[in-house]
Chain A
């Protein structure tokens, strides 16, 4: 069975500091991994994905994430946080085998960037 864990409900970081939002996953076979961001009263916005290839993937708005197979992790990172990055972040996983198309989401991490 697929699952995602986001161990931190809330992450606070000062503007200009690096940020990390943690995610670990469980899936049969090779994972496809995703990060989404949700702003109030808006839908989920796609940030980045890992499918195959380089373990470090770069996405929108300066975000990046590192796939670590041995630790089954896919932490989201940004070198310098902006106040506008404050939002709810979701990690998601799906299995790579044919037919396993739906995403399994974590419970989300609320990021607050303090000016």
Chain B
């Protein structure tokens, strides 16, 4: 079956531009997560949705970062006025439920953002 998809796969933005990154989770998955992975590091949590509700946004690094999932499926991560330190791979993950036997997260291929 189809996995988590993300678009675009690569994005080059000039400093100060706004960008929008899209995530299509696995159909039926309730939970959706965004992570940021800097070069040579592990992914770091940004935000979490359960259906359309954003339950945790504690990892968003600044108010320039905004995420939404209006209909409980597709999600968009928006970064306003991009800065060079925003350059990273942005990973989206989804999981079926919060129940014990379905807590593993399935990751998309990521969007590599380069801010010049």
Interface size range of chain A in the complex: 20 to 34
Inter-chain contact A34/B104, CB cutoff 8 Å: yes
Inter-chain contact B44/A36, CB cutoff 8 Å: no
Among the stretches B11-19, B62-70, B73-81, B106-114, the one at the interface with A is B106-114
The total of interchain contacts (Cβ-Cβ below 8 angstroms) comes to 64
Inter-chain contact A43/B91, CB cutoff 8 Å: yes
**Given A32-B103, A51-B100, A52-B100, A42–B109 Cβ distance below 8 Å?**
yes
Q: Which residues of B contact A105 (CB under 8 A)?
A: 42-44
Closest-by-CB residue of A relative to B109 is: A43
B72 to chain A, nearest CB (A): 16
Give CA–CA (A34, B107) in the complex, Å. 13
A6 to chain B, nearest CB (A): 8
B34 to chain A, nearest CB (A): 10
B107 to chain A, nearest CB (A): 4
Q: Which residues of A contact B50 (CB under 8 A)?
A: 101
**Given A44-B91, A90-B42, A108-B42, A101–B98 Cβ distance below 8 Å?**
yes
On B, residues with C-beta under 8 Å from A are 4, 31, 33, 35, 40-45, 48, 50, 55-56, 59, 91, 93, 98, 100-101, 103-110
